[in-house]
Structure 1
Amino acid sequence: MNEFTVNSFEEYLTTVRNNLGIVEKNGKRVRRYFRGQAKRAFEGFDLKPSIGRYTHLNSLPPAERDRRENEVLETFSNHLLTYVNHLPRNDWEALTIAQHHGLPTRFMDWTTNPLVALYFACRDSKKDKDGNPHDSAVYVLISEPPRFSELRRQQKNGGASVEELESAAPVSGDDDGYDDFGLDESGEAPVLSDDDLDTTTATWPRTQPEPTKEGELSPFDISSNVIYDPPHVSPRIRAQDGVLLACHQPMQPLEENDVLKIVISQAAHDDIRRRLDQYGVFDKQLFPDLDGIAKWLKYRVFEINGMT
């Protein structure tokens, strides 16, 4: 695993800019995805989806694990009508809602915004059992998994199998998720206002949820990891520039060569939190609800001066 250590906000920006390995494919730059963790992978928080953290499931045959996962999702979907106005159209959307509400799934949360990942890496500094502070980390996905939207589009146009599409799909995106937050020519970082993060949500047709049709892509039948751009089931997804990684082997962590790791020195956390606040990357914007307001006030009033 490629690894870098940074000791300041500016060093993080420069490291991301200089080490993403941007390449051109079909005239477009490859999009990168970021994930911030308060604990690094070797400290017991492996890069795996939430369902993969239930180690007792490893004793089950893969078919039985998949059956249980499908049954849980079906039960969850049967209760949705009571609580939501817009029902999911397929298993991908249903799993997105389940993930958002804390149900263990084969989806992993990532973001196209490196500052959002930095926020999640530094927002709550952790300590070990002896009280020693932990460094945190931002992981950059460099394995270039295919995107669900492109796979589905090609499948509709050409009728290829899922396996053929996964191996042949282009993975380039419109941007690397970083340009809007880079250093300008003077070396100064731009400051974002509260209005710079759009928290509008999308809506779905009011239809009954349908299982994924035979022959269509299914999150339970993929043979490689797939990037899924979820519908905006919550303002949080849009505010956090969220994407999901559907893992075809959810009990296994990502391979080391799938990611680049940027270690964030714990000594820099306080300053990074202040700088992110200046950028407009703070609780109230990333969690546009009462929880976010409470977290934001907690930081501004009780934590910003080093209080805990």
Structure 2
Amino acid sequence: MEQQTLNTTEEVFDFLISPFDLGRKRLYRGVSSVGHRLIPSLGRVAALQALGEEERAIREQDLMDEFRKHARPYFESGVPDEWELLAIAQHHGLPTRLLDWSRNPLVAAYFAVESQSEFDCCIYTHTINRFTSIDAVLDPYSIDTTMTVEMPHVTRRITAQSGVFTVSEDPFLALDDGEESGLEIGKYVIPHFLKWEVLLRLHQLGVNRATLFPSAEGIAQYLKWELENSGDAHAH
């Protein structure tokens, strides 16, 4: 896995707007700490980590069945198929084998620097030649390799964040272990002392809670952030 530290704000934005190969697709995922690995949320559930592979699979399927049953009254477009259900569950915070990525590097940068903690953060990249068509794979739970897929835009958030997903064959393995996953992964570290300036520049470019979470809640969170930080541009 290629790893590089971006030591200045200029280096960060040179990376974010760097030329790319139109024949290949580079995807981005921002995380708030360099210690966060590319493990789907399902694989981070401690109660499941202690189980064997077969029991994990049973628990995962039971979880999705329960979600389908209880959330059914809220499905505005009818009962979703397995892929749509995964995307909806992920959107609402249920642990799944999906991992969110974005085509837009500015979106990934926002999620990396939004938390103004004392931890260095990073942007992961994932480079592919093409997406796997979900039309050819009816069961996302029986795949034999990690796939990169475009989901139906079942939520506005997927559209706003230029969202795509990896779906893991084994959600308990970290995708940033290149030898294990077989994926072309890069890691670009942003030191914690650059996070505030990068965040301000992203806000100037219109990348913020209101645009990435198109809802009344997203607008309220953005206005609250502006209120709390007005006149405070140099305080961090």
Partner letter of residue 64 of structure 2?
A: L
Are 1:236 and 2:157 an aligned pair?
A: yes
Gaps of 5+ in 1: 23-27, 127-132, 156-215
CA RMSD of aligned residues (A): 2.2
Q: Provide the residue aligned with 1:62 in structure 2.
A: 53
Task: Tell me which stretches of 4 or more aligned residues in structure 1 moved more than 6 Å.
Answer: none
TM-score, normalisation: structure 2: 0.88
* Conservation of the 8 A alpha-carbon contact between 1:228 and 1:245: yes
Q: How many angstroms does 1:52 deviate by?
A: 0.5
1:59–1:134 Cα change, 3 Å: closer
Could you tell me whether the CA contact under 8 Å between 2:41 and 2:97 is conserved in 1?
A: yes
The aligned residue for residue 7 of structure 1 is: 7
Q: 2:119 aligns with which of 111, 134, 139?
A: 134
The answer on whether the counterparts of 2:37 and 2:176 sit within 8 Å (CA) in structure 1 is no
Cα distance in 2 for residues equivalent to 1:245 and 1:145: 14
Contact 1:9/1:275, CA 8 A, preserved across alignment: no
Q: Secondary structure at the match of 1:46?
A: coil
TM-score (norm 1): 0.68
Partner of residue 174 from structure 2, selected from 250, 253, 278: 253
Aligned length: 229
Which residue, out of 23, 27, 40, partners 1:49? 40
One-letter code aligned to 1:297: L
The CA deviation at 1:232 is 2.0
Q: Are 2:148 and 1:148 equivalent residues in the alignment?
A: no
Equivalent residues in 2 for 1:215-234, closer than 5 Å: 216-234=137-155
Q: Which moved more, 1:106-115 or 1:285-294?
A: 285-294
State the Cα deviation string for residues 33-91 of structure 1 (Å, max 9, x = none): 10001111xx3x22100010123323322222111111111111112331121134421
Whether 2:222 is the aligned partner of 1:296: answer: yes
Equivalent in the alignment of 2:210: 284
How do residues 29-178 of structure 1 correspond to structure 2 at under 5 angstroms? 29-40=23-34, 43=35, 45-126=36-117, 133-142=118-127, 144=128, 147-149=131-133, 152=135, 155=136
**Identity between Structure 1 and Structure 2 (%):** 34
State the 1:18 CA deviation: 5.2
Counterparts of 1:102 and 1:233, CA distance in 2: 15
Larger radius of gyration: 1
CA distance in 2, matches of 1:47, 1:276: 24
- Give the deviation of 1:19 after TM superposition: 8.5
> Is residue 7–residue 267 contact of structure 1 (8 Å, CA) maintained in 2?
no
Task: Rate the CA distance shift 1:55–1:146 in 2: closer, same or farther, 3 A.
Answer: farther
Which amino acid counterpart does residue 12 of structure 1 have in structure 2? V
Shift of 1:234: 1.8
Q: Report the residue type matching 2:109 in the other structure.
A: L
Residue type at the aligned position of 2:6: V
Contact 1:146 1:225 in 2 (8 A): no
CA contact 2:24–2:130 (8 Å) conserved in 1: no
Q: Distance in 2 between matches of 1:48 and 1:145?
A: 22
